[in-house]
A and B are shown apart, each in its own frame.
Chain A
Amino acid sequence: MVLSLSKDTIQVVKEQDAVFLKNRVKETATKIKMGLVNQTRLITAASELVRNMLRYANGGRCDIEVVSSGRNNGVRLTFTDKGPGIPDISQAMKDGFSTGKSLGLGLPGTRRLVNEFDIKSKIGEGTTVMVIKWANG
């Protein structure tokens, strides 16, 4: 059972918003006393996801939540966009696959950086990616 304790929504439309978002994520992670390594992992994951959103969907929305499950505290990020959607998610989750000219590590790498990862996508409607990083996970 994951409980949401606080919620913060940030609209992302241009590249500068990504810096603001990363700072917000860092603030939230510091607040729940997440360690430096986990913080960096979470920020890197946020950076990957926000970049995907800007690149393929021209921006979207990110909810930053402090969540709690039992004794564990953590940060949940939910990225929602109204972009073209991902036709084949299992292919997109493979290392080295990219429709752009990138390294193709964004999505699979992000999954390795966080504790919980969930992606939903509908062609023509958009994509939602949810990640959770526990403070001591």
Chain B
Amino acid sequence: MSLKINKLLQKKKKNILELWMKNQLADEGLREDLISNEELRSQSEELIDALVSNLGEDNFENVDSDLWSPVIEILGGIAITRARQGFTPRETGNFVFSLKEALLEILQQETKDDAAALFAQSLRISRVMDSLSVVTFETFIKGREEVILRQTDEITEISTPVIRVWDGILALPIIGTLDSARTQVVMESLLQEIVETGSSIAILDISGVPAVDSLVAQHLIKTVSATRLMGAECIISGIRPEIAQTVVHLGIDLSTIITKASLASALAYAFKAMRLEVKKIPAGQR
């Protein structure tokens, strides 16, 4: 093989960069609102530098080798930033695809007459660039997934607030489906709050739970038992008529638990248990 790819890359670095930039700028999908030309240029330059300085002839096709890791690191960094900035996968993919085109074009100029060499080398370049674009997509998707995971955590956190409605009375409104992971969070924050406030009554409000199946019921029973172990009483409120019928049909026994239809009646029960009274003051009296 007369032509060395790494030699070619080193020699033509400037040309490749120019051509690549030209390709990228000519692309209609270029997001000038998300990335400035200077930034794009510095990203491209960084990647080409890494490509040229790290690659030898023998490790060119072996993308798993250590010499490739700086290149992959840079590419991954770019893909993750783009995922966070809100680029589409196509726009991110074009970053690598346009480099491939630039490389192939330079290669064609260099091997004008030698069709066999041109074919052999373009095959190698294609293979390498394809695995680089796979890397880009993998990192891009990972970047997006991180965003989703963070949001999931935030939702779990905001959806389980423990409210101190009165001295000694806690309320915990549950919104959404109760799965094992959320029950854990609910139980932990409830028990913690009972210790911190010295409360004796906790109200679990399930008005926001769409359906109570046997697992949700089991989780509720567990939470109530744990609260009782801490010396506090637990009331479940917000049981809608259709939920009540479903629970009866399912055959779940909630008779050991104090249940109320609304948060207001649960609060009234709690007041009674604590020997508190809410009175309306007659007019004219202060």
Q: Which residues from B are CB-within-8-Å of A26?
A: 210
Q: Which residues from B are CB-within-8-Å of A109?
A: 213-214, 249-252
Q: Which of B213, B215, B252 has the most CB of A within 10 A?
A: B213
Q: Which A30-87 residues sit within 8 Å CB-CB of chain B?
A: 36-37, 39-41, 43-44, 47-48, 51
The answer to whether A112 and B213 have CB atoms under 8 Å apart is no
- Stretch in B47-55, B120-128, B197-205, B240-248 touching the partner: B240-248
Q: Does A95 contact B (CB under 8 A)?
A: yes
Q: Does B151 contact A (CB under 8 A)?
A: no
The answer to whether B250 and A105 have CB atoms under 8 Å apart is yes
Q: Which of A37, A39, A110 contacts B241 (CB 8 A)?
A: A37
- The 8 A CB mask of B196-224 against A (1 = contact, 0 = none) is 00000000000000111111011000000
Q: Does B98 contact A (CB under 8 A)?
A: no
- On whether A112 and B251 interact (CB within 8 A), knowing A43-B210, A48-B213, the answer reads yes
Q: Which residues from B are CB-within-8-Å of A37?
A: 241-242, 245-246
For the complex, give the distance between the alpha carbons of A110 and B246 in Å: 10
Q: Which residues from B are CB-within-8-Å of A48?
A: 213-215, 250
Q: Does A126 contact B (CB under 8 A)?
A: no
The answer to whether A40 and B242 have CB atoms under 8 Å apart is yes
Measured CB to CB, the nearest residue on chain A to B250 is: A109
For the complex, give the distance between the alpha carbons of A19 and B217 in Å: 17
The answer to whether B252 and A103 have CB atoms under 8 Å apart is yes
The answer to whether A40 and B211 have CB atoms under 8 Å apart is yes
Q: Which of A43, A105, A108 contacts B211 (CB 8 A)?
A: A43
For the complex, give the distance between the alpha carbons of A85 and B214 in Å: 21
Q: Does A22 contact B (CB under 8 A)?
A: yes
Q: Does B179 contact A (CB under 8 A)?
A: yes
B135 to chain A minimum Cβ distance, whole angstroms, is: 26
The answer to whether A47 and B213 have CB atoms under 8 Å apart is yes
Q: Does B177 contact A (CB under 8 A)?
A: yes
The answer to whether B242 and A36 have CB atoms under 8 Å apart is yes
Q: Which A116-130 residues sit within 8 Å CB-CB of chain B?
A: none
A36 to chain B minimum Cβ distance, whole angstroms, is: 5
For the complex, give the distance between the alpha carbons of A109 and B218 in Å: 14
Q: Which residues from B are CB-within-8-Å of A41?
A: 242, 245-246, 249
The answer to whether B213 and A40 have CB atoms under 8 Å apart is no
The answer to whether A102 and B214 have CB atoms under 8 Å apart is yes
For the complex, give the distance between the alpha carbons of A109 and B248 in Å: 9
A30 to chain B minimum Cβ distance, whole angstroms, is: 13
- On whether A102 and B215 interact (CB within 8 A), knowing A44-B246, A109-B250, A113-B246, the answer reads yes
B245 to chain A minimum Cβ distance, whole angstroms, is: 6
Q: Which residues from A are CB-within-8-Å of B212?
A: 44
The answer to whether B241 and A103 have CB atoms under 8 Å apart is no
Measured CB to CB, the nearest residue on chain B to A49 is: B213
Measured CB to CB, the nearest residue on chain A to B212 is: A44
Given A40-B211, A103-B218, A112-B251, list of 7 further CB < 8 A pairs?
A22-B211, A36-B242, A37-B245, A41-B245, A47-B213, A95-B251, A103-B252
Give A residues with C-beta under 8 Å from B.
15, 18-19, 22, 26, 36-37, 39-41, 43-44, 47-48, 51, 95, 102-103, 105-106, 108-110, 112-113
Give B residues with C-beta under 8 Å from A.
177, 179, 210-215, 217-218, 241-243, 245-246, 249-252
Q: List 24 A-B contacts (CB under 8 A).
A: A15-B179, A19-B177, A22-B210, A22-B211, A37-B241, A37-B242, A37-B246, A40-B211, A40-B242, A40-B245, A40-B246, A41-B242, A41-B246, A43-B211, A44-B211, A47-B213, A51-B213, A51-B215, A95-B251, A103-B217, A103-B252, A105-B252, A109-B250, A112-B250
